[in-house]
Structure 1
Amino acid sequence: MTYKYEVAVRAEATLGEGPTWDAAAGRLIWVDILGGRVHTYEPASGRRTLRVVDQHVGAAKPRAGGGLVLNLVDGVGLLDADEGFRWLHRERVPGRRANDAAVAPDGSLWTGTMRYDEAPGGGSLSRVTGDGTVETVLDDVAVSNGTGWSPDGRRMYYIDSPTRCVDVFDHAAGRISGRRRFAEIEEGAGFPDGLTVDADGCVWVALWDGGAVRRYTPDGELDRVITLPTPQVTACAFGGADLTDLYITTARVGLEFPHPVAGSLLVVPGAGKGLAQPAFAG
């Protein structure tokens, strides 16, 4: 099968990341981590918004009551529908920043962190509930990245990028166990970054420094590859009214001669069938 990408939003994001479909608003949310920017894009109307925050923002996800939850350098913040802001959990660690995050089936937010120097063991993965309760789930991480759940919620997929692996855990009631290897990215193909899980239980993985998105079956077999013209591919998510369009974020950071689409939000229409994503319960 041949996939053709389109430019959904032409941009020059330093580190575009975290595409998320907000079904209630009919929009795609994504961030430029190092630019401190939160973007939204409505495919039906073409309307776009941009909000600049005062620190690096790892992820932005919709909230059940409206507004957004932000994974920030200083912790987790809540942006209300009227654009008022407040901290849900604040914990600044020198040399560390927020990275990717995901909302679990129960509405909790699983937030990743990493050190700016990407030192092994300097990052973590934490579970944050709607009332602000925080539990560290993994505390020996280098670059916490893609996190997602199987359609039945019984599996959680996770990426610590320097390992070149996608791992899978058993998941129940907000707890994970039984970590094991799901897929491994070979030398020369880049590093796994963000991921999304589709309605068939297949895992789509963006490849940083690999210029591609791959789909793996629930058994961990590679069965599809979308090749893109820029190497820094960061994350992917299904969106659109029928959840069949695959949105892909990209970055310009580290590129001496960026491709014209580097840093843009791309889309591959009709790439598959995604899962409806829960909103944060806070």
Structure 2
Amino acid sequence: MTARYEVAVRAEAQLGEGPTWDASSGRLLWIDILGARVHTYDPVSGRRSVRTTDQHIGAVKPRAGGGLVLNLRHGVGLLDPDDTFRWLHREPVPGRRANDAAVAPDGSLWAGTMRYDEAPGGGSLSRFTGDGSAEVVLDDVAVSNGTGWSPDGSLMYYVDSPTRRVDVFDYVDGGVAGRRPFAEIEDGAGFPDGLTVDAEGCVWVALWDGAAVRRYTPSGELDRVIELPVPRVTACAFAGPDLTDLYITTARTGLATPPPLSGSLLVVPGAGKGLALPAFNG
């Protein structure tokens, strides 16, 4: 697929990640994990803001009652509409940080972790609810990354990046079972990172060190490739008032000579049709 990408926000994020459309405010949220920053971008007005956090941040998502939920190095925190911060679940582990997260159809937060050295088994994927309850769903993970659900909510897709796979689970009553491979990334094509699911049930996957975003059909067949001018493509999400524009985060960390757009927020207008995603129920 030949797609026309544009630069939404020219930036030098060390590790841009986690684009998320906040429908209530009409703005895109995204983060710089290692820069400890939360970015917002209004695609209509072009207005932007940047907020610095006290520690490395893995993900930010809107809350149903207003404010934000943050997946932070030491746990999951809540930012109220008046900017008051409080911990929902605090569990610092030496050498470990937060990574990607997603909100499930029932409004729970599924938040991943990883070790800074990316050691196998050092990360996890946990489920958090608004009342503060926490449950470890996967405890043998290296780099917990993209998570998303099918349009009917019956399937959950998940990436542990070093496996070079997107896996799929049956999702029933807030839990998962029946893990199996959905798509495999061949050697030399990079590592799967963040993902999003569109209204047709297709899975879009960002490729770290692969300079591309790929789309897989619900049966796991590769049917589109969007090539990009940066090697470290980290995540993607549909955003904008009609959810048709694909926003893509990128990184420059670890690159001796980063290409000019590394760390910027890119967009492919009219790439498809996204799903309206739930806000966290806390």
Instruction: Give the TM-score of the pair, scaled to structure 2.
Output: 0.99
| Structure 1 partner of 2:53 | 53
Q: How does 1:1-282 map to 2 (within 5 A)?
A: 1-282=1-282
Q: Secondary structure at the match of 1:195?
A: strand
In structure 2, what is the Cα distance between the partners aligned to 1:246 and 1:253? 23
Deviation, 1:49, is 1.0
Quote the Cα distance in structure 2 between the aligned partners of 1:49 and 1:65.
21
Task: Give me the identity figure in percent.
Answer: 80
Residue 246 of structure 2 aligns with an amino acid whose one-letter code is L
SS of 1:249's equivalent in the other structure is strand
Distance in 2 (alpha carbons) for counterparts of 1:264 and 1:173: 38
Query: Can you list the C-alpha shifts for 1:67-105, whole angstroms capped at 9, x where unaligned?
Result: 100000110000111111000000001100000000000
SS of 1:92's partner is coil
- Counterpart of 2:35, as a letter, is G
Which amino acid in structure 2 is aligned with residue 25 of structure 1? S
2: CA distance, partners of 1:68 / 1:196: 20
Which SS does the other structure have where 1:120 is aligned?
coil
Amino acid aligned to 2:94: P
* Whole-angstrom CA distance in 2 between matches of 1:266 and 1:82: 30
Letter in 1 for 2:114: M
CA distance in 1, matches of 2:31, 2:153: 26
- For residues 103-149 of structure 1, what are the alpha-carbon distances to aligned partners after superposition, in whole Å with 9 as ceiling and x for unaligned? 00000000000000000000000000011100000000000000000
Aligned partners of 1:70 and 1:16: how far apart in 2?
15
Aligned residue pair count: 282
Q: Take 1:9 and 1:280, find their aligned partners in 2: how far apart are those partners?
A: 26
Distance in 2, Cα, partners of 1:81 & 1:266: 28
Structure 1 segments (4+ residues) deviating >3 Å: none
Amino acid paired to 1:99: N
The whole-number CA distance in structure 1 between the counterparts of 2:51 and 2:229 is 28
Q: Per the alignment, in what secondary structure is the counterpart of residue 137 of structure 1? A: strand
> For residues 2 and 233 of structure 1, what CA distance do their matches in structure 2 show?
17
Aligned residue for 1:162, secondary structure, equals helix
Amino acid at match of 2:48: R
**Structure 1: runs of 5+ lacking an equivalent:** none
| TM-score between both structures, scaled by the size of structure 1 | 0.99
| SS in structure 2 of the partner of residue 102 of structure 1 | strand
2:105 alignment partner AA: P
In the alignment, the residues of structure 2 paired with residue 228 and residue 84 of structure 1 have an alpha-carbon distance, to the nearest angstrom, of 38
Where 1:98 maps in the other structure, the secondary structure is: strand
- How far apart are 1:259 and its partner, in Å? 1.0
Alignment partners' CA distance in 1, 2:54 and 2:211: 30
